[in-house]
Amino acid sequence: MTDTTSTRGQEVRASSTPRPIVRDITELIGETPLLELHRFAESRGAHARLLAKVEFTNPLSSVKDRIAWAIIRDAEDRGLLYPGRSIVDITSGNTGIALAAIAASRGYPAKFYLGDNTSPDKKKIIESLGAEVVSVPNSIFIDPEGLAKLVEQIETENPDAYFTNQLANPVNPQEHYATTGPEIWRDTEGRIDFFVAGVGTGGTVSGAGRYLKEQNENIRIVVSEPGDVSLPSEENPYPAEIDGVHKVEGLDDEQLPPNYDREIADEIQQVDAEEAYEKARAVLREEGLFVGSSAGGTLTVALRLAQRPENAGKTIVAIIPDTGERYLSAGVFG
């Protein structure tokens, strides 16, 4: 029920039903909205309905809030995380921010290893939350064995810490199966034809994608991945990147995040960083939605799908992983 009484000539539109007062930021995680991007889609000749799952409405402004809380909760329940023990992980920023915030709220020290090409805005937020940041050269990710070597280094340097291991912790996709997928299915009333996401850890697309496929096997799961020019190489270890999003097509299993289910994708499309940046700027100007570079990538792919005549009348849901405010120093917005 909504109160529409007037106070001094101004209409009051607040709901008369009180919302609960929460005592912890973890109680604010999830139940993110779907927003129809009608101006952005229609002005580009879309035939399908394009919906954005706006994950930056989570308290730490990204989809990673979901898995950070799930991983910490699971570790506490199993007695692996307790007062005095610290948290450590590899991150491209958002999971580190979410883990650092929840760690701060629960009194755990935290330490994160970031590639030195990570957005400076993300690094500053992590440090502001009181966590330690260790910078590693972006060139390490050129080596197919680089990630495994970094994990070994972390475990050696932090023998007493709890390694949250977002890339391989099965709690990650399980949380998206339990929350993200059901929210999308419920809010679309089961009317969804395509689900579009990038692969960071692989948890979102694998967990939510699996749930959606179980409800309707005809739903197509489409992955947005960086094009080759947007990946670090020996010739260019610091290209313009889609921050935190990884290539998956054509890679061996050992090169993929363990949480990524390579059987989940019906289609994989490449997006160059500059195209992702352009879409992020466009949706900001046309919808007022401030999104990051990874969202620019998923929106690029979602728009391509929406422009196909055979998809007329269908519904496409694209994940918006985080806010554009995390990329003001990273070249996304000029």
CA-based Rg of the chain, rounded to a whole angstrom?
20
Catalytic residue among 206, 224, 293, 294: 294
> How distant, in Å, are the alpha carbons of 74, 107, 295, 316, 322 from that of 102?
13, 8, 24, 32, 17
Catalytic residue among 64, 122, 279, 314: 64
Q: How far apart are the first and last CA of the chain?
A: 44
Annotate 58-97 with DSSP letters as a single string. STTSBTHHHHHHHHHHHHHHTTSS-TT--EEEE-SSHHHH
Q: Which two tokens stand for residue 292?
A: 């990051």
* Residue 64 a catalytic site member: yes
Residue 185: half-sphere exposure toward Cβ, Cα within 13 Å: 18
Q: Is the dihedral of CA 213, 216, 218, 220 positive or negative?
A: negative
Q: Are 133 and 114 in contact (CB under 8 A)?
A: yes
Q: Is 54 helix (H, G, I), strand (E, B) or coil?
A: strand
* Residue 294 a catalytic site member: yes
Residue 330: half-sphere exposure toward Cβ, Cα within 13 Å: 30
Listed in sequence order, the residues at least 6 apart from 154 whose beta carbon sits closer than 8 Å to its beta carbon are 88, 89, 90, 113, 163
Catalytic residues: 64, 294
